[in-house]
C-alpha cells in the first residue's frame, strides 16, 4: 500500500467536520478524494464498488444512523435519493462531522432538489501541487506572502546537476507527470500514457454521462486538444470551435455544452477576470482564461514530450503557467482566496491575482525565468500596482514573479522572484 501523502485540503476537511454535519469532497477522478476522505472516516461505503450497498441505499435500508461516524459515502450520486436520506439522517444525529460525501461529478440539479444549507459544506480537491508531491520545499508560503513577508531562504535543489537546463528538465518532468497520486513514481512517458487514457475515458464516458446526452468522443477530444493549445489564454468559443475544425453558431453552442460537461466532472476550470478598482477609466476585459485541471492532461492532449517541450519554449511557457495556476489555486483555497487574472484594453496583462476574502491581494506573473522575461514581468506588476486605486482596493501585499528555476530573491524595486519549487500554502 502506498504511503499517504498529506494534502493541503486535509485541514479544510478537518475544520468542516468540526463545524457542519456533512462534508462534500468534490474533484476530478484520480486526484485522491477517496484516499483523503478515508483518513477522516470511521466507516465507509464505496458505491462504485459495492452493488449491494447501492441497492440498500436506493431502498432506504442502508443503516446511515448506525455509524460509526463520520461515515464516508463515496461516489454518492450513483444512488438516487441518497442526498435527502443523508440530509434527514444528519438532522436526526444532530451533530457536526456525521458524513463525508465524495464525488467525481457535480450531480444533476434534480438529485439535490432540497437545499443543504446549514447541513453541508463543500471542499474542492484538485490534483496535487508541487508542495504536496514533494517537488517544492514550500519556503515561500502564500499565507506569509499575504502578510507581506518575503524571506528568501536558500535551499539546495534535489535531483539534477543544479544547472538551469537540468532544473528546467525537472520542471518539464513534473509537468508531464502531473498531480495524480498514481503517477508520482512513474517515468514521464508512462505518466503521459496514463493521462492519454484518462482523456479517452473522459471523452467516451464521463462527458456523455455528465451532460445526459450522446456526444462524439472524437469531438470532445478535439475540444480538449483545442483547450490545451489555448491553455492560459482567453480564446473565445468561436476560436475554440474553429480550432476543432468546425464553425457556425451550432458549433459554438456545442463548445458551450462540452465545456459545461467538462466543468461538471471538474476537468475544466476557467480563471475569471479580476475586477479591482482603478484610478483610470481603462476598461477591464472580462473573458476568463482556459485551463484543464492539470497540465499533464494538456500535454497529453497535444502529444507533447520532454524534448518537444524543451525545444518549444512558447508551448512550455503556456503549460508552465497552467501548472503554476493549479498550484496557486490549491494554496489559495487554503488561504480563503480566489485566483483571478487581469487584462485591460490598454494592453496591460497580469497572469494571476490572488485575492483573499478580506480583500488583501497578491499580483503574480508567471515566466520561465530568463532575465529579460523577469524584467518585463516586474514592469507589468509595477504598472498594475500604479493603476489600482489603493484607497478602495488597498495596496498589493506583494508583487511576485513565479519562475521555473533559480532561487527566491527580492529585487530593488520590491518585486519578489519566486521559483515554483519554493511556493507553498
What is the tens place of the pLDDT at every residue in 75-85? 999 898 899 99
Which has the higher per-residue pLDDT, 97 or 115? 97
In this structure, are 56 and 189 located in the same domain?
A: no
| Same domain membership, residue 144 and residue 51 | no
pLDDT at 110: 45
Distances (CA, A) of 241 to 254, 273, 307: 8, 22, 29
Residue 2 in any domain: the answer is: no
The residue-averaged pLDDT of 248-252 equals: 67
- The answer to whether residue 178 scores a pLDDT higher than 60 is yes
For residues 40 and 219, which has the higher predicted lDDT (pLDDT)? 40
Residue 19 has pLDDT above 80, yes or no: yes
State mean pLDDT over 117-136.
94
Query: Residue 58: inside a domain, yes or no?
Result: yes
Q: Are residues 27 and 175 in the same domain?
A: no
Determine the pLDDT at residue 161: 57
| 108-122, 225-239, 406-420: the lowest-pLDDT one | 108-122
- Whether residue 292 is predicted with pLDDT greater than 90 in this model: the reply is yes
In this prediction, residues 185-193 reach a mean pLDDT of: 96
Q: Do 267 and 353 lie in a common domain? A: yes
CA distance 321 to 175: 10
The helix (H) or strand (E) run that includes residue 46 is strand 43-46
Residue 382 lies in a domain: yes
Task: Check whether residue 307 and residue 238 sit in a common domain.
Answer: yes
Report the length, in residues, of the chain.
Answer: 425
Question: Are 134 and 106 within one domain?
Answer: no
Q: Is the pLDDT of residue 151 over 50?
A: yes
In this model, does residue 216 exceed pLDDT 90?
no
Q: Are 36 and 151 members of one domain?
A: no
Distance (Å) of CA 293 to CA 84, 108, 128, 214, 335: 30, 21, 10, 23, 19
User: Could you tell me if residue 195 is inside a domain?
Assistant: yes
Of the given ranges (104-108, 120-124, 337-341, 369-373), which has the lowest mean pLDDT? 104-108
* pLDDT band of 2, cuts 50, 70, 90: confident
pLDDT tops 70 at residue 154: no
Considering the chain, what is the average pLDDT of its residues? 91
Of 64, 90, 125, the residue that ends a domain is: 125
Domain-terminating residue out of 125, 140, 171: 125
For residue 53, give the CATH number of its domain: 3.40.50.300
Would 4 be classed as within a structural domain? Answer: no
**Chain centre to alpha carbon of residue 2:** 23
**Alpha helices (runs of H) in 39-81, residue ranges in sequence order:** 51-59
Q: Are residues 84 and 204 in the same domain?
A: no
CA distance 341 to 351: 5
- pLDDT at res. 248: 60
Is the pLDDT reported for residue 10 higher than 60?
A: yes
> How many domains does the chain fold into?
2
255 shares a domain with 118: no
Dist. CA 296–CA 232, nearest whole Å? 14
pLDDT of residue 33: 97
Domain boundary pick from 63, 96, 125? 125
Residues 286 and 349 in one domain: yes
The answer to the question of residue 3 being in a domain is: no
In this structure, what is the dihedral angle of CA atoms 233, 227, 328, 285, given to the nearest 10 degrees? 30
Domain membership of residue 17 as a residue range: 9-125
pTM reported for the whole predicted model: 0.93
Q: Which of 7-11, 88-92, 112-116 has the highest mean pLDDT?
A: 7-11
Q: Is 250 a residue whose pLDDT tops 60?
A: no
Q: Give the C-alpha separation, 133 to 126, whole Å.
A: 13
Q: Tell whether 164 and 117 lie within a shared domain.
A: no
- Split at pLDDT 50, 70, 90, the class of 369 is confident
For 93, residues 6+ apart whose C-beta sits below 8 A from its C-beta are 21, 65, 69
Rounded to an integer, the average pLDDT of 91-99 is 95
Do residues 242 and 374 both lie within one domain?
yes
341 occurs within a structural domain = yes
Residue 180 in domain: yes
Amino acid at each position: 500500500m502506498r504511503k499517504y501523502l498529506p494534502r493541503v485540503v486535509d485541514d479544510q476537511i478537518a475544520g468542516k467536520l468540526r463545524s457542519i454535519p456533512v462534508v462534500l469532497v468534490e474533484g476530478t477522478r484520480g486526484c485522491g478524494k477517496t484516499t483523503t476522505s478515508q483518513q477522516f472516516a470511521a466507516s465507509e461505503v464505496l458505491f462504485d464498488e459495492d452493488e449491494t450497498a447501492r441497492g440498500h441505499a436506493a431502498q432506504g435500508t442502508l443503516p446511515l444512523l448506525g455509524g460509526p461516524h463520520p461515515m464516508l459515502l463515496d461516489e454518492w450520486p450513483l444512488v438516487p435519493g441518497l442526498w435527502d436520506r443523508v440530509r434527514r439522517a444528519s438532522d436526526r444525529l444532530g451533530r457536526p462531522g456525521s458524513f463525508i460525501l465524495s464525488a467525481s461529478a457535480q450531480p444533476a440539479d434534480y438529485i439535490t432538489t432540497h437545499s443543504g444549507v446549514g447541513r453541508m459544506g463543500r471542499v474542492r480537491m484538485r490534483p496535487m501541487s508541487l508542495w504536496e508531491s514533494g517537488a517544492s520545499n514550500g519556503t515561500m508560503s502564500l499565507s506569509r506572502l499575504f502578510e507581506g513577508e518575503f524571506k528568501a531562504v536558500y535551499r539546495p535543489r534535489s535531483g539534477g546537476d543544479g544547472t538551469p537546463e537540468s532544473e528546467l528538465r525537472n520542471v518539464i518532468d513534473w509537468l508531464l507527470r502531473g498531480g495524480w497520486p498514481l503517477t508520482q513514481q512513474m517515468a514521464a512517458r508512462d505518466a503521459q500514457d496514463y493521462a492519454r487514457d484518462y482523456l479517452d475515458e473522459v471523452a467516451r464516458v464521463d462527458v456523455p454521462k455528465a451532460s445526459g446526452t450522446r456526444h462524439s468522443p472524437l469531438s470532445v477530444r478535439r475540444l480538449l486538444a483545442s483547450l490545451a493549445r489555448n491553455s492560459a489564454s482567453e480564446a473565445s468559443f468561436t476560436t475554440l470551435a474553429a480550432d476543432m475544425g468546425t464553425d457556425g453558431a451550432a458549433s459554438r453552442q456545442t463548445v458551450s455544452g462540452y465545456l459545461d460537461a467538462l466543468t461538471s466532472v471538474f476537468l475544466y476550470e476557467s480563471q475569471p477576470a479580476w475586477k479591482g478598482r482603478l484610478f483610470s477609466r481603462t476598461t477591464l476585459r472580462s473573458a476568463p482564461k482556459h485551463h484543464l485541471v492539470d497540465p499533464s492532461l494538456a500535454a497529453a492532449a497535444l502529444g507533447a514530450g520532454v524534448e518537444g517541450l524543451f525545444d518549444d519554449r512558447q508551448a512550455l511557457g503556456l503549460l508552465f503557467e497552467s501548472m503554476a495556476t493549479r498550484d496557486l489555486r490549491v494554496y489559495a483555497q487554503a488561504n480563503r482566496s480566489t485566483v483571478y487574472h487581469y487584462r485591460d484594453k490598454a494592453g496591460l496583462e497580469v497572469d494571476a491575482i490572488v485575492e483573499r476574502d478580506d480583500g488583501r491581494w497578491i499580483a503574480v506573473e508567471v515566466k520561465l525565468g530568463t532575465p529579460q522575461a523577469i524584467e518585463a514581468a516586474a514592469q507589468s506588476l509595477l504598472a498594475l500596482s500604479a493603476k489600482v486605486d489603493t484607497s478602495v482596493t488597498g495596496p498589493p501585499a506583494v508583487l511576485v514573479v513565479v519562475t521555473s528555476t533559480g532561487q527566491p530573491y527580492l529585487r530593488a524595486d520590491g518585486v519578489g522572484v519566486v521559483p515554483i519549487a519554493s511556493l507553498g500554502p
